[in-house]
Amino acid sequence: MSEVLYRRERRGGRVSSTARRLLGVMVAVLVLILAGELVFHLLLAPRLTLRNVVVSSDLSLARGEVLALAGLQDGALYFSVDPAEVRRRLEACPAVARAEVRKVFPDTLHIGLEARRALALLLFQGREGGTLPLAVDREGVVFQVGGELPDWDLPLLSGVELVGDEVRAGLRLPAGLRPLLEDLDRLAREAPELARLVSEVRLVPLAQERFELLLYPVGYRVRLRLGARLEAESLRGGLVILDLLERQDLAGRVDELDLRARDVVYRIKEEG
């Protein structure tokens, strides 16, 4: 009986000794890891700088301009650069629709920029009588002003009231215009042959901040009266009727086509 107890005690002693050795190994590993982190953060991290900034962009901005917008300086430390902050700075530029910023260890920063696309033109009448052209994108952001406009072959959006005496890049149109801008964008993407026939879209105010549309098509003398939305099917149908009127030499007598209801209404020009 005593021999059995002795064997159990020896076996228990071996287990306890093995556990102590494993615990010692684990402590040693943890000490090494902590020591490595201290060496890295105190000695190596302060020496890691951004050596490569890769810029991918469809904007007409030089690399130096992009870095200035991002707030990046030569010799910037890798770990001091916050991608979220860099992205915020870049997207504050009116010409930038979206920015993507990504760090790659140990010394690289990738910047991707998407430019805003001009969807329509606006004409702002200043107090001194001057007219200032503006380009607006599908999100309702004015991002090009005056002589900065490279593209004038866009539909004119009239009847829009801009608040304030100063118009600048970065101004946003009222949120109520977003559905119309989305319609224009959808038309340009899905039916570009129709979009090219839109010369002007005029907002006609109604009660309670609602509006309807007057559309002036390219090459026709008759305007189209629509509801608050610009739909490709309705526009296509109106253009078919206009073409028939032109063929029958009746367009000169018609002032507008009212397409708001199921039945098209012809409004005849007043005599005199």
Same domain, 164 and 205: yes
Per-residue confidence (pLDDT) for residue 42, from 0 to 100: 45
Centre a 10 Å sphere on the Cβ of residue 85 and count the other Cβ atoms it contains. 12
Q: What is the pLDDT of residue 32?
A: 66
Picking from 139, 91, 94, the residue whose alpha carbon sits closest to that of residue 111 is 91
Q: Under a CB-based contact definition with an 8 Å cutoff, are residues 256 and 224 in contact?
A: yes
Pairwise CA distance, residues 157 & 200, whole Å = 6
Burial letters 259-270, b for 16+ CB under 10 A, else e: beeeeeeeeeee
Q: The domain containing residue 57 runs over which residues?
A: 49-115
Per the CB < 8 A criterion, the answer to whether 226 and 260 are in contact is yes
Can you give the pLDDT at residue 15? 60
pLDDT at residue 190, as a whole number: 96
Q: How many domains does the chain have?
A: 3
Where is the domain boundary, 69, 100, 115? 115
Query: Are both 126 and 188 inside the same structural domain?
Result: yes
Reply yes or no on whether the pLDDT at 228 is more than 80: yes
Q: Are residues 129 and 259 in the same domain?
A: yes
- CATH no. for residue 85? 3.10.20.310
Question: Residues 143, 176: one domain?
Answer: yes
Whether 110 and 140 share a structural domain: no
Task: Check whether residue 98 and residue 80 sit in a common domain.
Answer: yes
User: Are 144 and 238 members of one domain?
Assistant: yes
b vs e for 105-140, b when ≥16 Cβ sit within 10 Å of the residue's Cβ? eeeebebbbebbebbbbbebeeeeeeeebbbbbbeb
| Mean pLDDT score of the chain | 86
191 with 77, same domain: the answer is no
User: How sure is the predictor about 270, in pLDDT bands with cuts at 50, 70 and 90?
Assistant: confident
41 or 103: which leads in pLDDT: 103
Place 146 in a pLDDT band, splitting at 50, 70 and 90: confident
Whether residue 215 contacts residue 230, with contact meaning beta carbons closer than 8 Å, is answered with yes
pLDDT at 153: 86
Q: Nearest to residue 79, comparing CAs of 111, 40, 114?
A: 40
Encode pLDDT of 109-120 as tens digits. Answer: 999 999 999 999
Residue 171 has pLDDT above 50, yes or no: yes
Cα–Cα dist 90/207, whole Å? 40
Question: Final residue of a domain: which of 73, 95, 115?
Answer: 115
How much of the chain, in percent, has pLDDT values that exceed 90? 60
Instruction: Based on the fold, state whether residues 42 and 53 are members of the same structural domain.
Output: no
With tokens 């000490």, the residue in question is 31
Q: Say whether both 41 and 54 belong to one domain.
A: no
197 and 145 share a domain? yes
Tell me the pLDDT tens digit for each residue of 45-74: 466 788 899 999 999 899 999 999 999 988
CA 87 to chain centre: 13
pLDDT band at 218 (very low <50, low <70, confident <90, very high): very high
Residue 74, SS3? coil
What distance lies between CA 205 and its chain's CA centroid? 28
Check residue 214 and give its pLDDT.
Answer: 97
Residue range 70-82: mean pLDDT, rounded: 90
- Rounded average pLDDT over 243-257: 91
Residue 131 has what pLDDT? 83
Among 85, 115, 145, identify where a domain stops: 115
- Residue 41: what pLDDT? 53
In terms of domains, do 101 and 208 share one? no
